[in-house]
Amino acid sequence: MKVFGITGYKKSGKTTLGVKISQKLSKQGIKVGILKHVSGDMNFPDTDTARYKSCASLVCAISSKETELLIQKEKSIEDMLAFFDSDIVLVEGFKKEKTFPRIVCLRDKSEESDLLNGLQVATASFNKDIADFDINNDDHIKKIASMAMSESFKLPNLDCGACGYETCYNLAKKIVSKNESIEKCISLNPPISVKVDGIAFPLNSFTSEMIKNTILAMISTLKGSKKGKVQIEL
**More confident site: 124 or 206:** 124
For the chain, the structural domain boundaries read: 2-45+73-154
Contacts 24+ apart (CB under 8 A), 192-196: none
Tell whether the model's pLDDT for residue 92 goes beyond 70.
yes
Tell whether the model's pLDDT for residue 191 goes beyond 90.
no
State the DSSP string of 133-185.
EETT-HHHHHHHHHHHHHH-----S----TTSSSSHHHHHHHHHTTSS-GGG-
> Which amino acid would we find at residue 163?
C
8 Å CB contact between 3 and 81: yes
pLDDT (tens digit, 9 = 90+) per residue, 140-165? 999 999 999 999 999 999 898 889 99
The Cα angle at residue 140 between residues 134 and 142, in degrees rounded to 5: 145
* Beta bridge partners of residue 70, listed in sequence order: 59
pLDDT (tens digit, 9 = 90+) per residue, 122-142? 999 999 999 999 999 999 999
pLDDT value of position 231 = 72
Query: What residues contact residue 39 under an 8 Å CB cut-off, 6+ apart?
Result: 10
DSSP-derived letter for residue 109 is G
Q: What is the model's pTM? A: 0.78
Q: What is the mean pLDDT of residues 102-118?
A: 97
pLDDT value of position 109 = 96
Q: What is the mean pLDDT of residues 165-176?
A: 96
**More confident site: 205 or 78:** 78
DSSP-derived letter for residue 55 is T
According to CATH, the superfamily of the domain at 2-45+73-154 is P-loop containing nucleotide triphosphate hydrolases (3.40.50.300)
State the DSSP string of 34-47.
EEE--SS-----S-
**More confident site: 167 or 68:** 167
CB neighbours (10 Å) of residue 12?
Answer: 22
Q: Indicate the average pLDDT of the chain.
A: 88
Closest residue by Cα to residue 100 from 46, 141, 162, 152:
152
pLDDT (tens digit, 9 = 90+) per residue, 18-74? 999 999 999 999 999 999 988 766 666 667 777 787 788 888 888 898 888 888 888
Q: What is the mean pLDDT of residues 168-174?
A: 97
CA distance 9 to 106: 7
